[in-house]
Amino acid sequence: MTNTSKPAGNTTSTTTSAPTSAPTSSPAETAAKPERFTDDERAAMKERAKELKASTRRGSRADKAAEEEADVVAKIAEMQDSDRVMAERIHTVVKAAAPDLAPKLWYGMPAYARDGKVVCFFQSAEKFKARYATLGFSDQAHLDEGSMWATSYALSKLTAADEARIATLVKNAAN
């Protein structure tokens, strides 16, 4: 009778096995694909590229400002009714509250800039398939209040009180 047990401490194997195939991915791993830009995001980037290209071609500063405002007004006119009404009112409020902010398009949306840098902007609900439009403020806005403050506001409609609050926010942001 032969002893087939291995001596203690022996770590080598004397048996051979059939080669195994490479490990297969789990369904969760194969489903995880790299994130890609949506069609809407790509369209916004293309609009921004057009805006930047157009801004380098324009003539005098006054001509450029007039053309940029005309672009904003035209973009507002293209919006769905509810967004358009709010964007028109915000445009009027911003121009009255902070006349030194220059209207311009920013990623295809109306924005208002100081020295070429966007301070505040309007995002339509329709373009971003959201429940509400948004009035946002960039880091160029002077809205700092303590250690935390709002940088965007949801808009479902505009009341006179809302317009007064927006005017105050824009004034503070522009100073």
pTM greater than the 0.85 cutoff: no
Angle of helix 81-97 relative to helix 160-174, nearest 10 degrees, comes to 50
Q: Which residue has the tokens 């303590």?
A: 146
Q: Is 15 exposed, middle or buried (0-12, 13-18, 19+ CB in 10 A)?
A: exposed
CA 49 to centroid of chain Cα atoms: 15
Strand-pairing partners, residue 103, are: 112
Residue whose tokens read 């940088």: 151
Q: In the numeric block, which tokens belong to residue 121?
A: 């902007």
pLDDT digits (tens, 9 = 90+) for 2-37: 555 554 554 444 444 445 555 555 555 555 667 898
pLDDT in tens, 39-94: 888 888 888 787 777 766 657 778 888 889 999 999 999 999 999 999 999 999 99
Q: Where are the beta strands (DSSP E) in 44-171?
A: 102-106, 109-114, 117-123, 133-137, 152-155
pLDDT at 152: 96
